[in-house]
Structure 1
Amino acid sequence: MADTTATFDFSTWPPALSKAQLDAITLYATTYALSHGVLYLPPAKHQPTVPTAAIHAPISLFPSPVPRRLFEYARKIQRTYNLLYARIAMDEEFLDRVMGADEGVGKVDDFIGQLWKGWKQLRDAGLAQPLHLGLFRSDYLLHYALKDSLSIKQVEFNTISVSFGSLSQRTAELHRYLLAATRYYDASPYFKLDNFPSNDTIAGLASGLAQAHEAYSVDDSQILFVVQPGERNVFDQRPLEYELLEKYSIRIIRQTFDELALSASVDPVTSVLRISCSPDLQPSGVIEISTVYYRSGYMPHEYPTASHYATRFHLERSKAIKCPTVALQLAGGKKVQEVLTQPGVLEYFLANEEKYGRDTLPAEEINNVRKSFMGMWGLDVGEDLQNPDHDAMKAGREEYGVRKAREAASSLVLKPQREGGGNNIYKEDIPPFLDILPPQERSAWIAMELIHPPENFGNYLIRAGTTDLESRTPVKAEVVSELGIFGWALFGGPDKQVVEREVGWLVRTKGKESNEGGVATGFSVLDSLLLVD
């Protein structure tokens, strides 16, 4: 069920603690975080090659309550989402129409257009590797549609560089430790171990990477992590590396786009991707790559020159399995999310016997996914929203989507085709933004109805990274918590089969006054779950 009758009183959260209790539990939490890798590299203009210091990541003191049935519902529909986005990534005609540079978003969004054009050229030349790997995260907020009806609604579906899998597991372990060490001073009857779900995201995400490596099936090949220069979030990435080495004997190499521009080569005959290195590190001086795992490459500023796009497409050209492919990155666009809400589109991907034979889903499973949608539309959409025919929707599209957004601005967010936080336009900022948005750029934006999370819901937040002791004191604030569910899918090949799993969860909590939600961008803290009635 997507909805539940609200019984838990969110306004009672967090439970009251005395100052002595708060001081004690803060010390427990911060020292545990520092001892167990809940860490960031400290802010610096240039990160040192060999790190010399670390700070604990921003964290909450209490886990955040989520109704157990809604948590289980989100986990259940993740597997349908895994299948859905795998099939979208394999549907070139659909992606060309929605995201392409000829008639879709890429026509007016240069970043999307550059990705699509490069992908189109590679397709025309013939792709060397039919398999795709996706490590996914579907993000949700609790939503009150009516006073006593609580549901969860999807914020977005992420297909590239999904982060905080490792740190989400560590934060869940931190809160379970606080329960064991202090019982949270018996401040709430909900503080029972059964209400603190385990979270094995590190093993789950690593199993997806290992599955791709096994499918590549070349001895002594390695997985390439494509990372950002000066990456602060290394302690979220390294546990995956350690899991792959310790459990699967798979070795990892980490490089940036700038490093790969010099080190990466693709064999013109076999399309094997090799990375050159010092013979002191590898006797042959080269490493064959089985899987390319992107922890970067999702924002335009990461492609400051044409050579950065060239490097991305050079890797895409190879036989290595990409996580994600350009196609799968495009599938994660906000425009795709909006198009999925249009009549018949979910059925096209999930109940299309002509296209997928017997591998279709029953109406109940499809409707469970649809229940997680908020209302949304493209700013370029025509008034005939019930007509899924693309050509028919072009008629009258110049004004309707914008006019509807103006009229409902107080209950909307506008989203572009961007990841990473800090890109959206909210409420009263929408009309003046529409005044200056060129008509030809409307197709790059979607309007989405705002989700209404519980009111008067709080937590204690701890941020680090400063020498000011007062700023490191837990701050009690009214908050909003976002639940993310992780999954992976390996798919493609002649049979178009999809192997997929649901593999863990994440909670990020932010002050209610903040519209954005990224931990790395400073808006949110890492949190975990408390399951309630």
Structure 2
Amino acid sequence: MPSPSDSFDFASWPPTLSNGQLEALTLYATTYALSHGLLYLAPAQRQPTIPSAAIHAPISLFPSPVPRALFDNGRRLQRIYNVLYARIAMDDEFLDEVMGAEKGVGKVDKFIGELWRGWKRLRDEGLPQPLHLGLFRSDYLLHSLPDKPLSIKQVEFNTISVSFGCLSQKVAELHRYLLSQTKYYYSSPYLSPSNFPSNETTPGLASGLAEAHKAYGDERSQILFVVQPGERNVFDQRPLEYELLERYGIHSIRNTFEELGNIAHVDPSTSALIITRSLDGSPSERIEISTVYYRSGYVPHEYPTPKHYTTRFLIESSKAIKCPTISLQLAGGKKVQEVLGRPGVLERFLADEAKYGKDVYGPEVISELRDSFMDMWSLDVNEDRVTPDRPSSESGNEEFGTRLAREGALGLVLKPQREGGGNNVYKESIPTFLDTLDPEERQAWIAMELIQPPKDFGNYLIRAGSTNSQSQTPVKTEVVSELGIFGWALFGGPEKSISEKEVGWLVRTKGKDSNEGGVATGFSVLDSLLLVD
């Protein structure tokens, strides 16, 4: 058995346990999860108003190893990403160029175009609230290439409805409990308390919401959670409400877009967002909203009618602080991620002394940030974007970017401007998919080189929700683990100041043969970190 001081061998994970030990660990893990709110509502065609059943969230039995230095690197980068995306969201000219419906992605992506046009109209009329709140998560995979040091590479940066902050804290606590209870049967010297980092994501994210509420300046106001109808992932959201109430005395309410279309209005004299509701026939209650926290609104099907867009724009037109504003949601687009990789773009936002004064970053920091990128390009990119390590291909009728995607399909993923999992196109599916896109539609897609995670790395995965007695049996499989780092930023105003923090982490683990990675969409399980050297 290797000592903890040796370079970690990912192929040695997870440690070997007997069937009896696995059974005992599974019982400890699942009962802990059920006892401590590591839960999902049970699958149902329609969730009842008052929940009648819950199941434990999908979980891993062991934490997943990540080198300590790379974890520290991700945490350090988060502070820079917080600033970067805040500055992008405040740069109307850049977003018009990249995401707009006149010049950018919004020309061919109807959803992006609708959001941009509504935002453009509102800002031309004058937005009453200059502050933005972002609750962020930057997602990474370990990148392992022969004869090169292990590194972390960014999968994406999330600016709306970042999920699993609360449940990620609970699963970290679950794995620490298993260590305390069983010592994991002394199966690995790496499984020691010093290698289990703390995770305080729930109070961390709540502190961002509380800062926005404080900045709004009315103690009687409340925070509005805009949620999906039939939401199963309520146990990842409710702890934030409890934290806000218990630590800060801030009340919250929850409503869907559908409900808000009937009960929300903006006071014409103050621009306050007002929710009017009545419970059980009691007199109407008038609630002023300080902060709007979106846990929905990031995919087109959540806007099935024009009224849903009207409701979104109504909220945007108020003086409530939005998390996120439409501009910050647009800043999280995959197209922005691709453009940031182009020469000089990071410097525009991080190194312009004339614009940002002393709050700039040096070449070493920008290089470190750029090192976290994988190579990306637009499908409609032309030959003038050819670089020395990306030679020109044969001439043809398709743009260079599309031809390059055909030639390198087995090492690529295509991404649209969507969140939530299940939207990407991978490897051998790419050439056939490209045949379905007309030249204009290609503008809405980017190609990204695939990250290469360590091979032969495994874990035991546990799912619930099936009547099959085998559903609680841990499945040992080769996996890929994705690390997410959370942060928040409150920014804007006349000085365009930025207050920001890094506030915790998430690990999601999936079978290696699964391309997608969402927990809510059924591809992954919740996991936690084991720091190794």
What does residue range 320-339 of structure 1 map to in structure 2 within 5 Å?
320-339=320-339
Residue equivalent to 2:393: none
Give, in angstroms, the shift of residue 359 of structure 1: 1.4
Q: Distance in 2 between matches of 1:147 and 1:338?
A: 27
What does residue range 439-478 of structure 1 map to in structure 2 within 5 Å?
439-478=439-478
Q: Distance in 2 between matches of 1:145 and 1:282?
A: 65
What does residue range 49-448 of structure 1 map to in structure 2 within 5 Å?
49-278=49-278, 285-385=285-385, 399-448=399-448
Q: Distance in 2 between matches of 1:343 and 1:7?
A: 35
Assess, with a 3 A threshold, how the Cα gap between structure 1 residues 468 and 214 changes in structure 2: closer, same or farther: same
Assess, with a 3 A threshold, how the Cα gap between structure 1 residues 251 and 281 changes in structure 2: closer, same or farther: farther
Conserved in 2, the CA contact under 8 Å of 1:274 and 1:289? yes
Give, in angstroms, the shift of residue 22 of structure 1: 0.3
Q: Distance in 2 between matches of 1:21 and 1:279?
A: 51
Conserved in 1, the CA contact under 8 Å of 2:489 and 2:498? yes
Residue equivalent to 1:532: 532
Conserved in 2, the CA contact under 8 Å of 1:462 and 1:473? yes
Assess, with a 3 A threshold, how the Cα gap between structure 1 residues 397 and 484 changes in structure 2: closer, same or farther: farther
Residue equivalent to 1:491: 491
Assess, with a 3 A threshold, how the Cα gap between structure 1 residues 130 and 281 changes in structure 2: closer, same or farther: farther
Give, in angstroms, the shift of residue 145 of structure 1: 2.7
Give, in angstroms, the shift of residue 321 of structure 1: 0.1
Assess, with a 3 A threshold, how the Cα gap between structure 1 residues 108 and 73 changes in structure 2: closer, same or farther: same
Q: Secondary structure at the match of 2:383?
A: coil
Q: Distance in 2 between matches of 1:77 and 1:202?
A: 20
What stretches of structure 1 of length at least 5 have no aligned partner?
A: 388-395
Q: Secondary structure at the match of 1:520?
A: coil
Q: Secondary structure at the match of 1:384?
A: helix
Give, in angstroms, the shift of residue 360 of structure 1: 0.8
Conserved in 2, the CA contact under 8 Å of 1:380 and 1:397? no
The residue type equivalent to 1:352 in the other structure is: D
Q: Distance in 2 between matches of 1:166 and 1:81?
A: 21
Q: Secondary structure at the match of 1:160?
A: coil
Measured against aligned partners, the alpha-carbon deviations of 1:173-229 in whole angstroms (never above 9, x if no partner) come to 000000000000000000110000000000000000000000001121000000000
Give, in angstroms, the shift of residue 279 of structure 1: 6.8
Assess, with a 3 A threshold, how the Cα gap between structure 1 residues 135 and 397 changes in structure 2: closer, same or farther: farther
The residue type equivalent to 1:364 in the other structure is: E
TM-score with structure 1 length normalisation? Answer: 0.96
Q: Distance in 2 between matches of 1:398 and 1:125?
A: 41
The residue type equivalent to 1:320 in the other structure is: A
What stretches of structure 2 of length at least 5 have no aligned partner?
A: 388-395
Conserved in 2, the CA contact under 8 Å of 1:343 and 1:386? no
Assess, with a 3 A threshold, how the Cα gap between structure 1 residues 397 and 218 changes in structure 2: closer, same or farther: farther
Q: Distance in 2 between matches of 1:112 and 1:326?
A: 10
Q: Secondary structure at the match of 1:197?
A: coil
Assess, with a 3 A threshold, how the Cα gap between structure 1 residues 442 and 245 changes in structure 2: closer, same or farther: same
Q: Distance in 2 between matches of 1:290 and 1:104?
A: 32
Q: Secondary structure at the match of 1:149?
A: coil
Assess, with a 3 A threshold, how the Cα gap between structure 1 residues 176 and 107 changes in structure 2: closer, same or farther: same
Give, in angstroms, the shift of residue 152 of structure 1: 0.5
Give, in angstroms, the shift of residue 353 of structure 1: 1.2
Conserved in 1, the CA contact under 8 Å of 2:82 and 2:489? yes
Between 76-85 and 270-279, report the one with greater CA deviation.
270-279
The residue type equivalent to 2:500 in the other structure is: E
Q: Secondary structure at the match of 1:499?
A: strand
Assess, with a 3 A threshold, how the Cα gap between structure 1 residues 111 and 234 changes in structure 2: closer, same or farther: same
Q: Distance in 1 between matches of 2:282 and 2:12?
A: 58
Conserved in 2, the CA contact under 8 Å of 1:342 and 1:386? no
Q: Secondary structure at the match of 1:406?
A: helix
Residue equivalent to 1:393: none
Q: Secondary structure at the match of 2:53?
A: coil
Give, in angstroms, the shift of residue 381 of structure 1: 1.2
Give, in angstroms, the shift of residue 147 of structure 1: 3.9
Give, in angstroms, the shift of residue 436 of structure 1: 1.5
Measured against aligned partners, the alpha-carbon deviations of 1:20-40 in whole angstroms (never above 9, x if no partner) come to 100000000000000000000
Give, in angstroms, the shift of residue 469 of structure 1: 1.1
Q: Distance in 1 between matches of 2:513 and 2:32?
A: 29
Residue equivalent to 2:390: none
The residue type equivalent to 1:257 in the other structure is: F
Between 217-226 and 138-147, report the one with greater CA deviation.
138-147
Q: For the aligned residues, what is the CA RMSD?
A: 1.5
Measured against aligned partners, the alpha-carbon deviations of 1:331-358 in whole angstroms (never above 9, x if no partner) come to 0000000000000000000001122122
Q: Distance in 2 between matches of 1:282 and 1:292?
A: 25
Q: Secondary structure at the match of 2:150?
A: strand
Give, in angstroms, the shift of residue 397 of structure 1: 10
Residue equivalent to 1:392: none
Give, in angstroms, the shift of residue 361 of structure 1: 1.0
Assess, with a 3 A threshold, how the Cα gap between structure 1 residues 463 and 281 changes in structure 2: closer, same or farther: farther
Conserved in 2, the CA contact under 8 Å of 1:61 and 1:460? yes
Residue equivalent to 1:43: 43
The residue type equivalent to 2:408 in the other structure is: A
Residue equivalent to 2:12: 12
Conserved in 2, the CA contact under 8 Å of 1:6 and 1:149? no
Q: Distance in 2 between matches of 1:443 and 1:514?
A: 27
Q: Distance in 2 between matches of 1:398 and 1:358?
A: 45
Conserved in 1, the CA contact under 8 Å of 2:26 and 2:472? no
Conserved in 1, the CA contact under 8 Å of 2:487 and 2:502? yes
Give, in angstroms, the shift of residue 472 of structure 1: 2.0
Measured against aligned partners, the alpha-carbon deviations of 1:497-518 in whole angstroms (never above 9, x if no partner) come to 1100000000000001100000
Q: Distance in 1 between matches of 2:115 and 2:57?
A: 33
Conserved in 2, the CA contact under 8 Å of 1:85 and 1:331? yes
Q: Secondary structure at the match of 2:144?
A: strand
Conserved in 2, the CA contact under 8 Å of 1:460 and 1:476? yes
Give, in angstroms, the shift of residue 55 of structure 1: 0.3
Measured against aligned partners, the alpha-carbon deviations of 1:301-341 in whole angstroms (never above 9, x if no partner) come to 00001100000000000000000000000000000000000
The residue type equivalent to 2:137 in the other structure is: R
Conserved in 1, the CA contact under 8 Å of 2:465 and 2:471? no
Conserved in 2, the CA contact under 8 Å of 1:132 and 1:322? yes
Q: Distance in 1 between matches of 2:7 and 2:435?
A: 44
Conserved in 2, the CA contact under 8 Å of 1:137 and 1:162? yes
Assess, with a 3 A threshold, how the Cα gap between structure 1 residues 29 and 100 changes in structure 2: closer, same or farther: same
